[in-house]
Structure 1
Amino acid sequence: MTTAVTIPRHGGTGGGTAVAARARQVVKAYGSGETRVVALDRVDVDMARGQFTAIMGPSGSGKSTLMHCLAGLDTVTSGQIHLDDTEITGLKDKRLTQLRRDRIGFIFQAFNLLPTLNALENITLPMDIAGRRPDEKWLERVVETVGLAGRLKHRPTQLSGGQQQRVAVARALASRPEIIFGDEPTGNLDSRAGAEVLGFLRRSVDELGQTIVMVTHDPVAASYADRVVFLADGRIVDEMFHPTADAVLDRMKDFDARGRTS
């Protein structure tokens, strides 16, 4: 059963669940005066620990901007972003870089693999750069979860697009980050490969206790999440728990209809 809850401008977590990341009264604006564009307009939102959250909205709604601000990849104009109990909005660049490296995982539409390294070397590269040894048992679980056990010695050119994105997922999971952010992680994949990667992300939440926040425009991708947060005009306008692809698609059609009549 799909439950949709309409809320005026902020999202909760759906109960007393621990919060992995949160935004409070976040504004992100570009330019000034008549050319000022507000990408995020006083956003309040919690991202629940141990859950898979999808962020959706029409083009230009601010969904990627919100993810980038939550992940410390972009600064906010005003408001606060917290990762667990750490406020990241006031951190200096060096400390923020260290925090992203040690506590956050990233999966992007582009796989961003180094062609000269094999799959295993690409997975452990961030930890190698940081001078940290991987937890072998955890790494083995991650590799098994994403189905790469027989491909670790292969270089990216020897892997399909779906397999390359599996490597990128494993790389994000390998350091046991507090939260993983995905920006259209299946955008470059066909539907079959995309479904495989989304299945691995779902398993990482269910079996490994991971926290994932994913920006997507695809209702099918969003249906893998526990919760969908909807943005429009830089504000959170709705959220949906236990989403189905059809329910998400209907909600997105509502946005399109509003856009044509406004």
Structure 2
Amino acid sequence: MHTTPGIAAATVGLTKVYGSGDTQVVALDGVGIDFREGEFTAIMGPSGCGKSTLMHCAAGLDSPSSGSVRIGTTELSTLNDRQLTELRRDRIGFIFQAFNLLPTLTALENITLPLTIAGRRPDRQWLDRVIAMVGLSQRLDHRPAQLSGGQQQRVAVARALASRPAIIFGDEPTGNLDSRAGAEVLGFLRDSVRDLGQTVVMVTHDPVAAGYADRVVFLSDGRLVDEMTRPTPDRVLDRMLRLSGGNPQTPAFDTGSRTS
């Protein structure tokens, strides 16, 4: 008997407007989306379509102009700054394009930093499992300068997983990596969903990266315009070409890391 997965995060009527009058830009225009528990979702669309704005609002890093955002059953607009900070720290993991590691700390210290700041002891069994999954057992004493870019992003993935968050948001997490290191990191995110029951939401413009997800949602001009389950890089690229009017020269996506 299958249980229906819950909703890790959701937006309803999400709108984000920057500026006013002639300079007004509508970055999000009434977006409603559910991110289901134990699912890997990729967000794609042409440059400037609102991908990162959607992620930042859904993760509580930015506040919407109107509409609502929930993490689990918690409505973010009801929280004060301290409560919002605690929710982000305790229930959300972040992986950014820039690895955001502290250079003076070892890999292990960087991984456990959010827990240290929160005054919480790591769950040793969970931490060991995460470290083994991302292949860092032999690198825990190394500082970031002693690690390759791919290894640094593995540390960032482990850090995001360490507190066992309800949901992980990744903003172009493989954007600074070569295709091999990027494939490793995406594989770890895929494994964390399959083996650890993690929920992952990733903004990307790379069809190959999107191919690791369970579903891909497409934005255009601040609106959700399409959705795809069981994506493949070729199907995603085809959909992106259609969204950009069939012109591969438009800055809608990146085919640089596409494998033949």
Q: Shift of residue 34 of structure 1?
A: 2.1
Helix, strand or coil for the counterpart of 1:94?
helix
Correspondence for 1:37 among 5, 25, 28: 25
Partner of 1:6 in structure 2? none
Partner of 1:99 in structure 2? 87
Do structure 1's residue 56 and structure 2's residue 44 form an aligned pair?
yes
TM-score computed with the length of structure 2 as normaliser:
0.92
Which residues in structure 2 correspond to 1:80-119 (within 5 Å)? 80-119=68-107
Do structure 1's residue 187 and structure 2's residue 172 form an aligned pair?
no
Q: Which has the higher contact order (CA 8 A, sep 6+)?
A: 1
Q: Shift of residue 257 of structure 1?
A: 1.0
Report if the CA contact (8 A) 1:71-1:181 is conserved: yes
Partner of 2:238 in structure 1? 250
Partner of 1:238 in structure 2? 226
Report if the CA contact (8 A) 1:228-1:241 is conserved: yes
Residue identity in the other structure for 1:228: V
Partner of 2:188 in structure 1? 200
Partner of 1:138 in structure 2? 126
Do structure 1's residue 226 and structure 2's residue 214 form an aligned pair?
yes
Report if the CA contact (8 A) 1:76-1:89 is conserved: no
Report if the CA contact (8 A) 1:19-1:49 is conserved: yes
Partner of 2:141 in structure 1? 153
Give deviations 1:9-55, integer Å, cap 9, x for gaps.
xxxxxx95321000000110011122211000001100011010000
Unaligned runs of 5+ in 1: 1-14
Q: Shift of residue 116 of structure 1?
A: 0.9
Unaligned runs of 5+ in 2: 251-260
Give deviations 1:51-75, integer Å, cap 9, x for gaps.
1000000001000000000000000
Q: Number of paired residues?
A: 246
Partner of 1:3 in structure 2? none
Report if the CA contact (8 A) 1:230-1:238 is conserved: yes
Q: Which stretch shows the higher mean deviation, 82-91 or 157-166?
A: 82-91
Runs of 4+ residues over 6 Å off in structure 1: none
Residue identity in the other structure for 1:122: N
Q: Which stretch shows the higher mean deviation, 250-259 or 182-191?
A: 250-259
Do structure 1's residue 129 and structure 2's residue 117 form an aligned pair?
yes
TM-score computed with the length of structure 1 as normaliser:
0.92
Give deviations 1:95-139, integer Å, cap 9, x for gaps.
111110011000000011111111001000110011000000000
